[in-house]
Chains A and B, each alone.
Chain A
Amino acid sequence: MEAHIASTTQVTSRFQDFWGVFRKNYMGLVGLGMLVTAIFVAVFAPVLSPYDPSSTQDVTTGDIYNAPSVDHWLGTDDAGQDVLTNFIFGARVSLTIGFFAAFISLVIGGVFGIVAGFYGGRTEEVLMRFTDIMLVIPDLPLMMVVIALTKPSIFNIILVIGLLYWTTTARVVRSQTLAVKSRKFVLRARSIGAGKGHIIRHHILPLVMPILVVQAVLVVSSAVLAESTLSFLGLGDPTALSWGQMLNYAFGRGAMSTGAWWALVVPGFGIVWVVLGLTLLGQGLEQVLNPRLDTHHLMPSRPTVKSEAAQRSSEKSLLEVKNLSINYISEGKPPARAVENVSFTLKEGELIGLVGESGCGKTTLMLGLLRLLPSAGQIVSGQVYYKDQEITALSDEELNKIRWRNVSIVFQGAMNALNPVRTVGDQIAEAIRKHLPDFPAEKLPARVSELLELVGITSEHKDYYPHQYSGGMRQRAMIAMALACEPQVVIADEPTTALDVMVQAQILDLLDQLRKKLGLAIIFVTHDLGVVAEICDKVLVMYGGVTAEYADVDTIYNSPSHPYTQELLKAFPDLTKPKKKLVSIPGYPPRLDALPAGCRFAPRCPLAFARCHTEQPALHELGDTHIVSCHLVEAPK
């Protein structure tokens, strides 16, 4: 979706952008709150604690492991000391060690990662091999050995944790550096003549920083855990009472047998509080800095809204779409009207082109035909019929019988439309097994070979995995798969985009041949006007989610009635008129969540008049199969 300069010139800083999203992330906010509380306790320990930790009172056996009382809110420990006081001061030790150790490990990991990622070659090889070795050596035993052989002091503990906990950081930073380095703006900086230092400072670091921040949060939490574990195992600094040390003393000195649960529960609670706070904060930051759509293809889609069935056209058609409208619903926003009031019919052996620029709703329409919309998408009115069945009214089970068996889809095969861990032949056979259960199993391999040969792939390739295919072959394999159950209708979604012109011509030729040979009806979704002119019978031009013009192919190219169709043809290069100057349409396609009030093309239309900006034009029928939505054609000529 294209972004635009709004009329207001409000400029936001990157931090404001970040905070705007982060403040809506509950996980991150709770984590931040927990961490801030812990730091607050640590900083103001002397003010908060009821007793002075350094005061050595006379301890009698009666003072040991006293249950919580008014004097000692959280009871006393094995030395008769107030657990609450030690708990509050313990926060200082645990957090100090955590932060310092994390700092060391981040510096090492960050430098290793950036140097390895940026310089590559031998340097990277050596650094990453070393990182791999350090990664497999178990940390805790190694830390135990090193501390046992040196002296358990805070300094040593910080150093050991810092020197051993950098491996993940190094790996994460390296892969991010590699990703940034391969981006085109780094190449652009190099082509300008920027040196390595300049590129690292201005292009690599700013993009690695967010990852490093997330990593920092996570490393602090690991370091706090590591310190408490070491202390619990008796390797802590005996002069500094961290939470782990408190647990060590309590566990080793009979808190268990005396039932003094408070001496065991309280320090552990502190560790969990800090580590959980950091983990939540890290998760929250990660979600904000590296957002991903938390939706997937198996999420239940919104129920189709039933609307009064319209009169179907009298002619016999395979697929009929009647006044179909599809919205995208997201909370707190008005629905995006991705497809509105689109109708067309597809007859046997016919090839319809569905043309439009990015964001015009053509892909949504295509997915809507078989109710494959993402979970936010909803059919809000209209019907889709396959022969006599109303697809928009079927149950999921009934619909699954039509999918692929009667109407199949060729997705853009250059993308990830084939499962990478199963052979191509297996994936083709799967469709047959699903829809034609009576098909004899022993004939299945022969059938798969036959299908592949039909699209020009030799049969030995059926045992190959998708990654062993070239882009063109993957696209052919997708077509073979779409034909597996001999469907009547094939929907082809940009099947030639991202392919070279020659391969594109091969695929077009193939589809055309198959249509003639098997009598297929095809819906061809594309942005390429040239391809449509080459093979289609009828064309549906979409703009901003609505039908701009629907007519047979000759009308569209030789006497178009909609200004958008006319302008689009002027913008498209024509090899037969090499000297023709290309004309672009000023402005940009509308955003589906901010559609203009009147005609959606009005802001860019050279012929627009006042009415166009206020009133959406109706669909005008100019002939049997010529529909135009434009105020200019109101009165039929």
Chain B
Amino acid sequence: MEGIKGYILKRWQYLLKKITWSLFTILFVIILNFFLFRILPGDPARAGVRDPRLTKENIEAIRVRYGLDKPIINCFESLNPIKIGSCTVNPLDTQFFIYMGNLLQGDMMISFHTNQPVAEMLSERLWNTIVLIGAGQLLAIIFGVLFGMFSAWKARTAIDYGSLTLSLVAWSIPTFWLGIILLFWGSNNGMPIAGMSTPGMSSAPLLTRWGDIAQHMFLPTLTYTIVYMGEYMLIMRSSLLDVLSEDYILTAKAKGLSVFQILKDHAITNAMLPLVTIIAINLGFTVGGVIQIETVFSWPGLGMTTVEALNRRDFPVLQGAFLLIAVTVILSNLLADLAYSYLDPRVKTE
């Protein structure tokens, strides 16, 4: 018998473990991000200093500031045939450590395209993406859970088969294509189809401006909701079906509880557990969807920035955007894990 004390201790251990693990993952992503851009053929150091859009002074400034003429890292000579370093170099005087140092100060280089600091550019766009994901995710979860519950409760009826089929179809539609179809429909019905607000709105009163943004958000959010609702519905359905065939539901029924009481007090919490896990695991996947939606609807978020940077071969922005996206996903994942540990008392250290 563990006792309540042991139980609380275990929860703290669990939290500590999860946080440490997230930090480690972030470190892994930073290192991966650095080497991807230095080792793969499209090396930004070489690409950057040859970029015709930059003036000579700019190139020189970049060189010095980011140490692009220094070896990437020391002491790889004997291990790596590419020979990207020399053991005689001071390890701190290499591109890797300069990059890490800059990153710690929030410096993610300067955009080749706009000459704006990358960090500044991205932080603005991050919020637009979070607004979109937040709204879409919320709606997708609400509708997915509701439909899933209904479907499971009415299992093996026409309602169930109907919503199951719709969910599978929604799950199979490429996000960007659904976006295009909705865009097509929207443009024929006078919906705003691009960007986040109508030009020239910045001087309008606050409420009008928000209303305008909401209008612009409608189609992207709808796309997002449809695509992810299907998946959440499928998971909720199967998880609730599992829960409803558990023995403790029979106990609840024998206790004389009504169907509504059983669902509310015994089934939903247990059925939500797998959903929380899936939401967490899916976050990385979700970002993929948002990139497509932002591209189709020209929503000025991180996704669109990434695609733009890609087309312009603006490597510092690409690198920064990837890092920011990855770190955001890892942190949200951590959040979902913590939520899980509060929902399920069985969470142990293992």
A and B touch in the complex (CB under 8 A): yes
- Is A416 touching B246 in the complex (CB atoms < 8 A)? yes
- Is A404 touching B255 in the complex (CB atoms < 8 A)? yes
Partner of B310, one of A133, A148, A275, A298: A148
Q: What 0/1 pattern do residues 285 to 310 of A give for CB contact below 8 A with B?
A: 00000001111111100000000000
A228 to B180: give the CA distance in the assembly, Å: 14
- Is B184 touching A256 in the complex (CB atoms < 8 A)? yes
Q: Is A280 an interface residue (CB 8 A)?
A: yes
Q: List 10 A-B contacts (CB under 8 A).
A: A135-B281, A136-B329, A139-B288, A233-B291, A295-B156, A298-B267, A416-B247, A418-B248, A434-B255, A468-B2
Interface size bracket, A side: 35 or more
Interface residues in chain B, defined as those with a beta carbon under 8 Å from any beta carbon in chain A:
1-2, 4, 7, 21, 25, 28-29, 32, 36-37, 40-42, 152-153, 155-156, 168-169, 171-177, 180-181, 183-184, 187, 241-242, 244-259, 261-263, 265-267, 269-270, 273, 281, 283-285, 287-288, 291-292, 295-296, 306-307, 310-311, 313, 318-319, 321-322, 325-326, 329-330, 333, 343-346
* Chain A residues whose CB sits within 8 angstroms of the CB of B288 once the complex forms: 138-141, 229
Given contacts A146-B40, A275-B173, A463-B4, 10 further A-B contacts (CB under 8 A): A135-B281, A136-B333, A140-B287, A142-B326, A149-B41, A149-B42, A235-B310, A261-B184, A298-B263, A299-B156
Partner of B25, one of A136, A229, A430: A136
* Chain B residues whose CB sits within 8 angstroms of the CB of A268 once the complex forms: 173-174, 177, 180-181
Q: In the complex, how many angstroms separate the beta carbon of A356 from the nearest chain B beta carbon? A: 20
Q: Is A417 an interface residue (CB 8 A)?
A: yes
- Is A434 touching B257 in the complex (CB atoms < 8 A)? yes
* Chain A residues whose CB sits within 8 angstroms of the CB of B187 once the complex forms: 256
* Chain B residues whose CB sits within 8 angstroms of the CB of A132 once the complex forms: 21, 25
Partner of B250, one of A139, A247, A251, A297: A297
Q: Flag the segment in A9-17, A85-93, A185-193, A395-403 that touches B.
A: A395-403
Q: Is the interface of B mostly helix, strand, loop or mixed?
A: helix
A132 to B330: give the CA distance in the assembly, Å: 11
Residue of B nearest to A276 (CB): B172
- Is B245 touching A295 in the complex (CB atoms < 8 A)? yes
Residue of A nearest to B240 (CB): A296
Residue of A nearest to B156 (CB): A294
The 7 closest A-B pairs by CB, nearest first: A140-B288, A296-B244, A403-B256, A149-B40, A268-B177, A276-B172, A138-B284
- Is A372 touching B254 in the complex (CB atoms < 8 A)? yes
- Is A409 touching B254 in the complex (CB atoms < 8 A)? yes
- Is A135 touching B172 in the complex (CB atoms < 8 A)? no
- Is A229 touching B174 in the complex (CB atoms < 8 A)? yes
* Chain B residues whose CB sits within 8 angstroms of the CB of A142 once the complex forms: 322, 326
- Is A141 touching B287 in the complex (CB atoms < 8 A)? yes
A-B contact number at CB 8 A? 235
* Chain B residues whose CB sits within 8 angstroms of the CB of A137 once the complex forms: 29, 32, 284, 326, 329
A283 to B288: give the CA distance in the assembly, Å: 23
Q: Assuming the A-B contacts A229-B288, A275-B172, are A298 and B248 also in contact, with contact meaning beta carbons closer than 8 angstroms in the complex? A: no
- Is A298 touching B284 in the complex (CB atoms < 8 A)? no
Q: Is A455 an interface residue (CB 8 A)?
A: no
- Is B284 touching A405 in the complex (CB atoms < 8 A)? no
* Chain B residues whose CB sits within 8 angstroms of the CB of A430 once the complex forms: 255, 257, 265
* Chain B residues whose CB sits within 8 angstroms of the CB of A146 once the complex forms: 36, 40
Residues of A251-283 at the interface with B, using a CB-CB cut-off of 8 Å, are 251, 256, 261, 264-265, 268, 271-272, 275-276, 279-280, 283
- Is A299 touching B322 in the complex (CB atoms < 8 A)? no
A405 to B256: give the CA distance in the assembly, Å: 8
Q: Is A211 an interface residue (CB 8 A)?
A: no
Q: Is A61 an interface residue (CB 8 A)?
A: no
- Is B259 touching A256 in the complex (CB atoms < 8 A)? no
Residue of A nearest to B244 (CB): A296
- Is A264 touching B245 in the complex (CB atoms < 8 A)? no
A409 to B248: give the CA distance in the assembly, Å: 12
A256 to B266: give the CA distance in the assembly, Å: 50
